[in-house]
């Protein structure tokens, strides 16, 4: 079995919370939320025709991202996990860690014509830990590691005693079972989706931070989540949580698709203020070219390009591949109030830095500095040289896919 980059990075972060390591996850578990629309729009759809990818096409996207190898986690539904992890053994020779959504609270039940996301979240779990670990109802010791051994568990607090108590009790039962079965999890904390009691919007980040830290104070090391997945509430509350407990690995969730700049800027800003992980679902799935998008996202969090440079480079790659972008470069460089929950609830705004001059694909070719062993020296490159380098890399990826 190939060592998993997630485990390597978690160990390094634990040893040095200020290290540069950053965990990226592709969240392709949307079939546990959106139903038919989960796989995203089909590239072959015609104007005004609401056609979506099939599940088979969705899973092919997963295979390609895993084979690319730039994410650390691939989050799937239990059904997809049983096919790709258990049956196909997709992850055996990959450093990418398979994971499955371990519960599906009612605030992610997004059905056409339904109103579930507007009602207070209620705990619910379609799948079981055994189904995730081995693909059937009761695992034996010999097949418990046949599937994924990492799950996403989601909680939503609505400032209501009875609702939140039920959420906490259900999570407690899950943690106890997970500890007994050696199952790891990361904890997704959505913002309130239907508050019963008002919370001052300026204090929402503090409310969520306090609920999380208060809850985890009662959980020993053996039962704690390996990292958190939360709404990014800005520098103040991210830094507050990172300072309070440096051992907590803070991750941000991507929310709705938004612009390309929304995604790259969110990852960079969250990382700058203490986050060490990001999980993007719709932002990757709705991209014009998923592999190119993931490539630029990885280069951004690795500090090789700025968010602004990444957007320009991404559009340059689309142009080179003759792929029509969903938005013009100028429109794709705008920050929007991207919703940070499945149902389109809370949002966060980020201030944009100075605008860069749009990248011109016809600009002159520059020689890229090389290191002593002949490999490109990214640190010595100018911004334009790095853009050229990554464009060439991505064209190579496209030709192999």
For 66-80, 211-225, 337-351, which range has the lowest pLDDT when averaged over its residues? 337-351
Q: Determine contact, residues 132/174, Cβ cutoff 8 Å.
A: no
> In the chain, what's the furthest Cα-to-Cα distance?
64
Question: pLDDT tens across 21-36, in order?
Answer: 999 999 999 999 999 9
Give the pLDDT of residue 385.
59
b/e map of 326-356 (b: 16 or more CB within 10 Å)?
eeebeebbebeebbbbbbebbbbebeeeeee
**Cβ-proximal residues to 59 (8 Å cutoff; 6+ apart), any chain:** 80, 83, 84
Listed in sequence order, the residues at least 6 apart from 218 whose beta carbon sits closer than 8 Å to its beta carbon are none
pLDDT band of 169, cuts 50, 70, 90: very high
Q: Label residue 187 by pLDDT band (50, 70, 90).
A: very high
Neighbours of 112 (CB within 10 A): 8
Taking the CB of residue 358, how many other CB atoms lie within 10 A of it?
14
φ, ψ dihedrals at 28, nearest 5°: -110, 55
Q: What's the CATH superfamily of 5-400?
A: Aldolase class I (3.20.20.70)
Rounded to whole angstroms, how far apart are CA atoms 157 and 206? Answer: 13
Per-residue pLDDT of 29-86, as tens digits, reads 999 999 999 999 876 544 545 689 999 999 999 999 999 999 999 999 999 999 999 9
pLDDT of residue 98: 98
Residue 396 pLDDT: 54
From residue 187, alpha-carbon distances to 212, 225, 250, 308 in Å are: 10, 6, 10, 30
The pLDDT-based confidence of 387 (bands split at 50, 70, 90) is low
324 vs 321: CA distance, rounded Å:
9
pLDDT, tens digit, for every residue of 127-154?
999 999 999 999 999 999 999 999 999 9
Q: Is the pLDDT of residue 376 over 90?
A: no
219 exposure class (CB count in 10 Å sphere: 0-12, 13-18, 19+): middle
What mean pLDDT value characterizes the chain?
A: 87
**3-class DSSP state for residue 134?**
helix
Residue with tokens 């980020």: 350
State the Cα–Cα distance between residues 29 and 217, nearest whole angstrom: 29
Ranges 195-199, 234-238, 251-255, 345-349, most confident: 234-238
For range 377-390, the mean pLDDT: 54
pLDDT at res. 398: 46
- Name residues whose C-beta falls within 8 Å of residue 31's C-beta, 6 or more positions apart in sequence: 38, 39, 55, 58, 77, 79, 80
């Amino acid at each position: 079995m190939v060592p998993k980059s997630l485990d390597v990075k978690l160990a390094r972060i634990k040893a040095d919370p200020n290290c540069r390591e950053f965990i990226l996850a592709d969240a392709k578990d949307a079939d546990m939320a959106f139903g038919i629309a989960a796989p995203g729009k089909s590239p072959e759809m015609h104007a005004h025709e609401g056609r979506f990818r099939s599940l088979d096409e969705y899973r092919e996207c997963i295979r390609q991202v895993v084979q690319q190898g730039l994410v650390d986690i691939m989050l799937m539904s239990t059904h997809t996990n049983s096919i790709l992890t258990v049956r196909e053994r997709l992850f055996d020779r990959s450093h990418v860690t398979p994971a499955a959504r371990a519960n599906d609270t009612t605030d992610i039940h997004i059905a056409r014509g339904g109103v579930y996301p507007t009602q207070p979240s209620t705990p619910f779990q379609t799948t079981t830990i055994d189904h995730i670990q081995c693909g059937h109802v009761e695992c034996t010791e010999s097949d418990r590691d046949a599937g994924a051994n990492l799950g996403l568990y989601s909680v939503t607090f609505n400032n209501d005693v009875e609702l939140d108590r039920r959420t906490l009790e259900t999570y407690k039962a899950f943690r106890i079972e997970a500890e007994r079965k050696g199952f790891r999890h990361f904890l997704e904390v959505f913002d309130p989706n239907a508050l019963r009691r008002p919370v001052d919007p300026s204090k929402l980040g503090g409310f969520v931070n306090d609920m999380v830290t208060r809850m985890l104070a009662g959980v020993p090391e053996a039962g704690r989540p390996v990292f958190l997945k939360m709404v990014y509430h800005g520098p103040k509350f991210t830094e507050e949580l990172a300072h309070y407990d440096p051992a907590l690995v803070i991750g941000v969730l991507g929310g709705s698709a938004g612009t390309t700049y929304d995604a790259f800027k969110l990852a960079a800003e969250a990382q700058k203020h203490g986050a060490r992980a990001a999980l993007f679902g719709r932002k990757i799935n709705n991209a014009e070219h998923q592999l190119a998008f993931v490539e630029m996202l990885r280069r951004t969090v690795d500090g090789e390009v700025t968010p602004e440079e990444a957007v320009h480079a991404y559009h340059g790659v689309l142009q080179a591949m003759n792929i029509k972008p969903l938005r013009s470069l100028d429109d794709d460089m705008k920050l929007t109030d991207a919703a940070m929950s499945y149902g389109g609830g809370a949002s966060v705004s980020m201030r944009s830095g100075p605008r860069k001059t749009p990248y011109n694909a016809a600009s002159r070719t520059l020689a890229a500095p090389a290191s002593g062993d002949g490999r490109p020296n990214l640190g010595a490159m100018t911004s334009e040289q790095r853009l050229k380098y990554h464009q060439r890399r991505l064209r190579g990826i496209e030709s192999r896919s």
